[in-house]
């Protein structure tokens, strides 16, 4: 044990924080130096063979994305299964799916920060990285869904040779701003959090190249308290800005549907329902990723069962909100007395896409109920399986919303069924290639746990003895 | 010594020792000094006698500026550059412009937080004399440092070093400029 602990009074049982009388967030009572070593290890050691294999696998999927996009641009949107009633097919489904995944990262990094949930420090870096990569995947789809990405500049308010300006009353324009600004703010937030940790990597670097690169990106950070003061204020304000932002982004995504006059889309419940669903799906993705990363990179003591337990509770809460929203939609469709609205919902549950609807209900509402049991919340196998089901279920939710509302138009003569093509599937799998490639590179070159923040939640980080004000009136809390 | 050293650097093992040393140095009337820690120690600004950060003001100004720019862009595009009546609505149908105004405000605020932090912390900085010290590298790992610059009116090579040693510093060294 390092010297840092020896100066503390150890009168409490080892696993209880002396001030909070709660279990320690990080297991094994590590010293500050142990944390640095544990997080820096994957960046400094020789990468395991599995890392190369997974990178190769991700890159092949990324190649599939490249081929799919090249073929799309060459041939046009006819390569997809989109047809006349179902003009919005998989590209929009995938867009909403990926944006939603991103939301859990912001929830963990910003919302839980404001609520002073200190357990977030073990997972926030990874979750924020996941947000960035998910937003990158999401942005592909609006850019290519018309099949003419070279005209994308029409979406931006830039002077052009046609003297045309975008239609700002359209939720699709709101979406452009919301998602791009969301991506940018998430990047700023992530990078700000990274600066002290990049300085740690700079100070540990063994080669000149590493020292130069980490030195460049750590901006000359020297952990001065005069700097920490501005840093923490900036971090708090960014969290305060990112919180309404994340709520607004998926609300705006839902406006793409809700402001239309289509039965099944035109409902006021969409914004909160979409936000809850987004966080639900993103938490599942965080669990899927962390279950694997903590084992591969030997961080079981930093990301431990306590963290999974709390994420599982959040999954249960948001999953139940989503289930409630499904029920409310049905109730309102019936109670409104609007025959078109009620038809759209009966058609969802009993029509040709009933298989998709009941897949969604099973994965999103039924299966997460196992998290009422503590045993399930603390079992890696259960967590992993349920998180995969939630990912599947949330993809199906967007499929159900987009396709079942469209495929039976007002005129029965224009009804049709939707079948994806090979290229629909290839583009979607390809977007996973982009996501996994970025994530695989991230875990190798960037500290995947917020070193400075984790040190700050260790029991020995708290100055107990001679400042009663700090721990008395305001509890000395915060991250 | 022909050249004036940059200052003195003291190394501590625990946040408690650093805290106590900071209070002592603050009370001794030093002004050009700083604490260097691997993670932010909450409340240390009181032990150091620092005032609160002005980053908030930068965020407020740029946030409001961003929101105004967002609304201004939409106003200009919809009424001046390309006035087109849509669904019989007025050209400046401002309620429909609120979402983009809000997003632009958040963008301005976030830029303000980041740039405000960089500006007030005087970062990025290419080099700093503290990096001449080999021991200082551990500030980002598990050591707690206190530095006092030689430009401080209270600075005196022997007395200041003695003061820091008396606070339980494990190591006190002179940092060359």
Q: Give the residue on B whose Cα is nearest the Cα of A212.
A: B126
How far apart are alpha carbons A212 and A293 in whole angstroms?
27
B101 inside 8 A of chain A by CB: no
B77 inside 8 A of chain A by CB: yes
pLDDT higher than 70, residue B1: no
What pLDDT does A3 receive? Answer: 41
Contact A165 B114 (CB under 8 A): no
Inside any domain, residue A189: no
Which structure tokens are listed for A37? 């070593």
- With beta carbons under 8 A apart, name residues in chain A contacting B136: 222
How far apart are alpha carbons A77 and A55 in whole angstroms?
30
Range of the domain at A53: 28-165+245-461
DSSP A32-60: HHHHHHHHHHHHHSPPPHHHHHHHHHHHH
Contact predicate A207/A74, CB 8 Å: no
The CA distance from A49 to the nearest CA of chain B, in Å, is 29
B59 inside 8 A of chain A by CB: yes
pLDDT higher than 70, residue B118: yes
Q: Would you call B33 helix, strand, or coil by DSSP?
A: strand
Contact A31 B36 (CB under 8 A): no
How far apart are alpha carbons A466 and A198 in whole angstroms?
32
Contact B138 A203 (CB under 8 A): yes
| Percent of residues in chain A assigned helix, strand, coil, to nearest 5 | 70, 0, 25
Q: What is the pLDDT of residues A347-399, one digit of tens each?
A: 999 999 999 999 999 999 999 999 999 999 999 999 999 999 999 999 999 99
B34 inside 8 A of chain A by CB: yes
What pLDDT does A328 receive? Answer: 94
Q: What is the pLDDT of residues A411-457, one digit of tens each?
A: 999 999 999 999 999 999 999 999 999 999 999 999 999 999 999 99
pLDDT higher than 70, residue A224: yes
List B144's β-bridge partners, or say none: B12
The CA distance from A60 to the nearest CA of chain B, in Å, is 36
B148 inside 8 A of chain A by CB: no
Directed axis angle between helix A49-75 and helix A422-445, to 10°?
140
What pLDDT does B90 receive? Answer: 94
- Span A210-230, mean pLDDT? 94
Contact B110 A31 (CB under 8 A): no
pLDDT higher than 60, residue A475: no
What phi, psi does A236 have (nearest 5°)?
A: -60, -45
pLDDT higher than 90, residue A138: yes
What pLDDT does A16 receive? Answer: 60
Q: How confident is the model at residue A26 (pLDDT cuts 50, 70, 90)?
A: confident
A51-A53-A56-A58 Cα dihedral, nearest 10 degrees: -70
What pLDDT does A10 receive? Answer: 42
Q: In what order do the strands lie in the sheet containing B144-149? A: B33-36, B144-149, B7-12, B171-175
What pLDDT does A6 receive? Answer: 42
Q: What is the pLDDT of residues B38-80, one digit of tens each?
A: 999 988 999 999 998 999 999 999 999 999 999 999 999 999 9
Inside any domain, residue A227: no
So what's the ipTM on this one? 0.94
B33 inside 8 A of chain A by CB: no
- With beta carbons under 8 A apart, name residues in chain B contacting A185: 106-107, 110
Question: With 0-12 CB in 10 A as exposed, 13-18 as middle and 19+ as buried, what is A384?
Answer: middle
Choosing among 3.30.70.2730, 3.60.21.10, 3.30.420.40, 3.50.50.60, the CATH entry for B5-38+142-176 is 3.30.70.2730
Which structure tokens are listed for B86? 């849509």
Q: What is the pLDDT of residues A153-197, one digit of tens each?
A: 998 999 889 889 999 999 999 999 999 999 999 999 999 999 999
Q: What percent of chain A has pLDDT over 90?
A: 78
How far apart are alpha carbons A270 and B100 in whole angstroms?
19
What pLDDT does A22 receive? Answer: 67
Q: What is the pLDDT of residues A85-106, one digit of tens each?
A: 999 999 999 999 999 999 888 8
Contact A225 B45 (CB under 8 A): yes
Contact predicate A273/A322, CB 8 Å: yes
Q: How confident is the model at residue B7 (pLDDT cuts 50, 70, 90)?
A: very high
Contact B111 A188 (CB under 8 A): yes
Contact A196 B121 (CB under 8 A): no
- With beta carbons under 8 A apart, name residues in chain B contacting A2: 142
Q: How confident is the model at residue A474 (pLDDT cuts 50, 70, 90)?
A: very low
> Pick from A313, A278, A304, A307: which is nearest to A391 by CA?
A278
Q: What average pLDDT does the structure give for chain A?
A: 90
Residue matched to tokens 């020896």: A6
pLDDT higher than 60, residue B2: no
Q: How many CB pairs under 8 A join A and B?
A: 232
B108 inside 8 A of chain A by CB: no
| Domains in chain A, number | 1
Domain ranges of chain B: 5-38+142-176, 55-120
- With beta carbons under 8 A apart, name residues in chain A contacting B73: 157
Q: Give the residue on A whose Cα is nearest the Cα of B130.
A: A222
Q: What is the pLDDT of residues B99-115, one digit of tens each?
A: 999 999 999 999 999 99
Inside any domain, residue A475: no
Residue A420 is given by DSSP the state -
Contact predicate B15/B41, CB 8 Å: yes
Q: What is the pLDDT of residues A401-410, one digit of tens each?
A: 999 999 998 8
DSSP A227-242: HHHHHHHHHHHHHHHH
Contact predicate A72/A79, CB 8 Å: yes
The CA distance from A241 to the nearest CA of chain B, in Å, is 6
């Amino acid at each position: 044990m390092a010297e840092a602990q020896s100066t503390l009074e150890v009168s409490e049982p080892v696993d209880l924080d002396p001030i909070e009388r709660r279990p320690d967030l990080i297991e094994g009572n590590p010293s500050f130096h142990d944390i640095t070593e544990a997080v820096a290890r994957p960046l400094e050691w020789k990468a395991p063979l599995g890392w190369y294999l997974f990178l190769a696998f991700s890159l092949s999927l990324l190649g599939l994305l490249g081929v799919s996009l090249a073929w799309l641009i060459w041939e046009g949107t006819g390569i997809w299964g989109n047809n006349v009633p179902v003009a919005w097919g998989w590209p929009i489904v995938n867009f909403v799916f990926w944006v939603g995944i991103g939301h859990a990262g912001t929830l963990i990094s910003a919302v839980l920060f404001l609520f002073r949930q200190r357990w977030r420090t073990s997972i926030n870096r990874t979750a924020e990285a996941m947000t960035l990569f998910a937003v990158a995947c999401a942005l592909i789809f609006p850019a290519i869904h018309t099949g003419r990405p070279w005209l994308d500049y029409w979406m931006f308010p830039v002077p052009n040779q046609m003297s045309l300006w975008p239609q700002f009353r359209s939720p699709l324009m709101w979406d452009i701003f919301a998602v791009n600004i969301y991506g940018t703010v998430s990047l700023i937030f992530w990078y700000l959090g990274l600066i002290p940790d990049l300085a740690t990597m700079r100070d540990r670097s063994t080669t000149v190249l590493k020292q130069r690169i980490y030195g460049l990106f750590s901006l000359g950070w020297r952990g001065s308290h005069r700097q920490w003061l501005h840093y923490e204020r900036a971090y708090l304000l960014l969290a305060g800005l990112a919180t309404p932002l994340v709520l607004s982004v998926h609300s705006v995504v839902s406006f793409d549907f809700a402001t239309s006059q289509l039965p099944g889309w035109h409902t006021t419940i969409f914004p909160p329902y979409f936000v809850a669903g987004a966080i639900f799906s993103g938490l599942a993705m965080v669990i899927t990723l962390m279950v694997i990363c903590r084992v591969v990179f030997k961080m079981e003591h930093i990301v431990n069962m306590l963290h999974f337990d709390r994420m599982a509770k959040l999954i249960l809460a948001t999953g139940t909100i989503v289930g409630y929203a499904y029920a409310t939609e049905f109730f309102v469709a019936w109670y409104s007395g609007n025959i078109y609205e009620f038809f759209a919902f009966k058609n969802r549950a009993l029509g040709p896409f009933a298989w998709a609807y009941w897949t969604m209900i099973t994965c999103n509402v039924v299966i997460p109920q196992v998290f009422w049991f503590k045993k399930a919340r603390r079992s890696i196998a259960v967590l992993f399986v349920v998180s995969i089901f939630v990912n599947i279920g949330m993809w199906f939710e967007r499929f159900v919303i987009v396709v079942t509302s469209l495929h039976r138009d007002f005129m029965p003569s224009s009804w049709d069924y939707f079948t994806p093509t090979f290229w629909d599937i290839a583009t979607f799998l390809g977007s996973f290639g982009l996501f996994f490639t970025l994530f695989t590179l991230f875990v190798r070159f960037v500290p995947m746990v917020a070193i400075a923040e984790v040190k700050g939640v260790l029991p020995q980080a708290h100055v107990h003895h001679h400042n009663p004000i700090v721990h008395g009136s305001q509890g000395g809390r915060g991250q | 010594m022909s050249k004036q050293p940059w200052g003195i650097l003291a190394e501590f093992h625990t946040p408690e020792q650093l805290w106590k040393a900071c209070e002592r140095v603050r009370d001794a009337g030093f002004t050009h000094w700083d604490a260097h820690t691997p993670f932010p120690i909450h409340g240390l600004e009181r032990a150091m006698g620092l005032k609160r950060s002005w980053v908030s003001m930068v965020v407020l100004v740029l946030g409001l500026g961003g929101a105004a720019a967002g609304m201004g862009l939409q106003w200009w595009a919809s009424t001046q550059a390309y006035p087109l009546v849509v669904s019989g609505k007025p050209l400046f149908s401002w309620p429909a412009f609120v979402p983009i105004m809000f997003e632009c405000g958040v963008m301005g605020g976030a830029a303000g937080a980041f740039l405000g932090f960089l500006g007030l912390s005087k970062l990025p900085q290419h080099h700093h004399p503290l990096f001449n010290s080999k021991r200082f590298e551990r500030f980002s790992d598990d050591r707690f440092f206190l530095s006092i610059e030689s430009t401080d009116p209270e600075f005196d090579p022997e007395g200041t070093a003695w003061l820091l040693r008396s606070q339980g510093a494990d190591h006190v060294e002179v940092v060359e400029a």
